[in-house]
Amino acid sequence: MKTHRLLIAAALATLFAAPALAQSESATLRIDSGSAMVSTGGEFTSAASGTQLAPGSRVMLTEGSRATLVYPNGCTQALGAAGVHGVPATCVAAAGSSAGSATAGSTAAGVDMGAVGIISGAAVLGAAGLNSMDEQPYVAPPPVSR
């Protein structure tokens, strides 16, 4: 019975790890020059430096404005062109850009090592559970007499 509980726990950890990992903490908007407006699904409103933005929010920059999204892991994503920019759940720094740097738990490819650890741990638990299962053949119980 313990084996089944371990397998169920490993399966649930794997199922719930992916959506939890897909959700990221909010990014912080840093306005470098000009002005910016943000929308969380409704109308655009003026934004100040330090505004917290959830994934899926949109940032509108006017001509000549520059802003940067700063993620909790230290990675930054520059927004330099006028227009509307979506806020991704994870940092998408430009390749070869000095403005985009991935640190503290993520690699240069943008892989969150914490997420890799959680998924790897769930896989190891599942493998251990499968390995510890009894290899006893099924024996049917005797018939019930009346």
Q: How confident is the model at residue 93 (pLDDT cuts 50, 70, 90)?
A: low
Find the mean pLDDT for residues 98-110.
Answer: 46
- Provide the pLDDT for residue 124: 82
R_g over Cα of the chain: 24
pTM: 0.50
Are 17 and 119 within 8 A, CB to CB?
yes
pLDDT in tens, 13-53: 655 554 444 444 788 999 998 889 999 888 999 988 898 99
> Of how many residues is the chain composed?
146
Predicted pLDDT of residue 94? 59
Q: Residue written as tokens 């690699």?
A: 107
Span 69-78, mean pLDDT? 88
Which DSSP string corresponds to the chain? -HHHHHHHHHHHHHHHHHHHHH--PPEEEEEEES-EEEESSS--EEE-TT-EE-TT-EEEE-TT-EEEEE-TTS-EEEE-SSEEEE--SS--PPTT-SS----SSB-TT--BHHHHHHHHHHHHHHHHHHHTS--PPP-PPPPPP-
Is the CB of residue 79 less than 8 Å from the CB of residue 67?
A: yes
Task: For residue range 110-127, list pLDDT tens digits in order.
Answer: 556 777 778 888 888 877
Please report, for residues 33, 55, 64, 81, the alpha-carbon distance to residue 84 in angstroms, rounded to integers and kept in the order given.
16, 14, 13, 9
Is pLDDT above 80 for 55? yes
Between 96 and 14, residue with greater pLDDT: 14
